[in-house]
Amino acid sequence: MAKTKIPAFQNETYKDYTQPRERKAMEAALRKTGDSLGKIYPHVIGGKRIGTSDAIASRNPARPSEVIGNFAKGTIEHAEQALQTASKTFLTWSKVPYEKRANIVFKAAKIARRRRYEINAWMVREVGKNWAEADADTAEAIDFLEFYAREMMRFGGPQPLHQLKGEHDWLEYIPLGVGVIVPPWNFPFAILVGMSAAAIVTGNTIVLKPSSDSPMMGWLFHEIMEEAGLPSGVLNFLTAPGGEVGDYLVNSTITRFISFTGSKQVGLRVAQNAATPREGQKWIKRVVAEMGGKDAIVVAKDADLDAAADGIVVSAYGFQGQKCSACSRAIIEQSVYPKMVEKIAERTKALEIGDPTKNKRIGPVVNEKAFNSIMSYIDIGRKEGRIVAGGERSGTEGYFIQPTVVADIAPNARLAQEEIFGPVLALIPVKNFDEALEVANNTEYGLTGAVYSKSKKNIERAKKEFFVGNLYINRKCTGAMVGAHPFGGFNMSGTDSKAGGYDYLLHFMQGKSIAEKDATAKKSRKNKAVKKKK
C-alpha cells in the first residue's frame, strides 16, 4: 500500500475577532470556562489520576480572587514515581515506529485545532492574554505539532551518507531516554506543547512540570495527547513547586535531558545541577535552555520613523512586555531622538488597559510578585531617566500596570541592563549608528533585536555585527514563526535552541552510525528476499 503523502507545512491562520462569527465563538468559550472554574485537577502518572490533600491554586491575574483550578501539589515522592514510570515506559515507547509516533502528534494537532477557542479562553483567564495574543499562542502550539511531526518523518529513516566501497553504511537517530520538561507561563501553551511534542515524537518519555502560574495549559495538553492515543506513561503530568521538586527531577540519575524555558537565574541553576554527575549516572545530561533577554530595537536616522514607532510599541507591550523577545530598549540616533520620543509616548498612551476577557489590549501582569518587581523598576526609572508615558498602577483590582516609557536612559543604567519582564521601555539616545550597535551588544543577553533603517550599509552591518539569535530588519522583534524564524539566543539568553527550526529535534536524539561489510549485507538481503518469496 502506498504511503499517504503529507501536505507541506503551513502556519496556522490567526482568528479575526472583528468577525461576528469568531467573536461569538470566543465569547461562548469564555462563558463555558467561566462555568468550570475552581475544579480539582490531579497528577497523571502512568495514566493514573493521583490527588493530594494540598493544592496549587491557579488564579486569574485580572481578578486574583477567581480561582482557575486547584491542582495537586506534588512532592519528591510523586516526582520519583513519575520518573520511574517514564523510565519503564521508555523501554516500549522508544521502539514504537517513528511513523506511528508522528501520527499521534498529527492527531494531537487536529484535536488542538478543534479545541482552539477553549484553549484560548482558558489562557485569557489564567495568564491575562488578550484574545489575539492567546490565539497566536495556540496557533503556534498547533504549528509546533504539525512541524515536528513532519520533521520526525524526515529524521526517522536512514540518513544520507557517503557509501564506502564494500560496505553498507547508514546513520539513524535514536531517542535519549527520560526528559524533564519545564515550560514557562508567558507562552503557556505554545512553548509547553513545543518542548513536550519534540521530546515525545522523537521517542522519549517525559515528566511535564508546568509553571504554577499556568498549570491548566499543561492539563489541556495532557487531555489532547491522551485523546490522540498517546500510551500511558509517555507523558507524566506533575504539578509542583519549582524549588525542591524541580531540583530533584533535574538531579535524578534517571533524567537524561532537561528542556527548560524561564529566567536566567533558574536556567543557570538547572545547567549547573545537570552538569554534576551523580553516583550511578551513565550519561552526560543534555540541557536545552532558553533564558530570556534584554532585547533592543535600533532606529537609524534614515528610518521610517512611524513604522519604527509602531514596531517598538507592539514589541514592547505585547502581552504586557512579558516576553523574552520583547523590546525593552529602543536605541535611537540623536538626530531623530526627540521625534521618536514623542511618537512612542503618544502611541503608548493610546493603549487600552482592562480585563482581557473583554478583549482589552493591555491586560494584567501575571502575579503579585511580578507586579511588585515591575513597579520597583519603574521607581528606578524615575531616578535614572524621565517617565514620558505611564508609570503608575491601573485600577484597584488585579495586577494592572500602565505601559511605561522611560526616556534618556544611559546605556549602562539598570533599566538598560536588567531584564524587567514587564511593560517598561527604556529609550537610549546615541550619537550615530556605530554607537547604536555598540550599545545594542552591551548586555549579557543576545536573544532578539531589530534595526529600522533604509541604508543597505547599515542593514548589512547589523546582519554581521548585531549579536543576537533572532534579528529582524524593518519589523518588530517579536512574533517568531515556526518554520520561518528558528528561535533561540546567545550568551545568557540560553543554548540557542532554535525552536521551530530544522535542527530542533536533534536536541532530543543521538546519532548511531552503522557500517556493515557488503558480503554480510548482501547475504542478509538475500535471506530476506527468500523468506518473502516463500
Catalytic residues: 290, 324
Buried/exposed 126-142: b ≥16 CB within 10 Å, e otherwise: bbbbbbbbbbbbbbbbb
> What's the angle, vertex CA 200, arms to CA 265 and CA 240, rounded to 5?
45
Query: Measured between alpha carbons, how far is 506 from 155 in angstroms, rounded to an integer?
Result: 9
Name residues whose C-beta falls within 8 Å of residue 275's C-beta, 6 or more positions apart in sequence.
Answer: 285, 287
- Nearest CA-CA partner of 168 in 525, 479, 471: 525
* Burial tier of 315 (Cβ tally within 10 Å: 0-12, 13-18, 19+): buried
Query: Measured between alpha carbons, how far is 467 from 437 in angstroms, rounded to an integer?
Result: 9
* Residue 306 bridge partners (DSSP): none
- Three-state secondary structure along 118-182? HHHHHHHHHHCCCHHHHHHHHHHHHHHHHHHHHHHHHHHCCECCCCCCCEEEEEEEEECCEEEEE
CB 413 within 8 A of CB 366: no
Measure CA 475 to chain center. Answer: 21
Buried/exposed 39-60: b ≥16 CB within 10 Å, e otherwise: eebebbbbeeebebeebbebbb
Count of residues in the chain? 534
Which residue reads 531589530 in cell numbers? 450
Q: What CA dihedral angle connects 448, 453, 458 and 459, to 10 degrees? A: 50
Neighbours of 326 (CB within 10 A): 31
Side-chain half-sphere CA neighbours of 166 within 13 A = 0
Backbone angles phi, psi at 458, to 5 degrees: -60, -45
Query: Measured between alpha carbons, how far is 506 from 519 in angstroms, rounded to an integer?
Result: 32
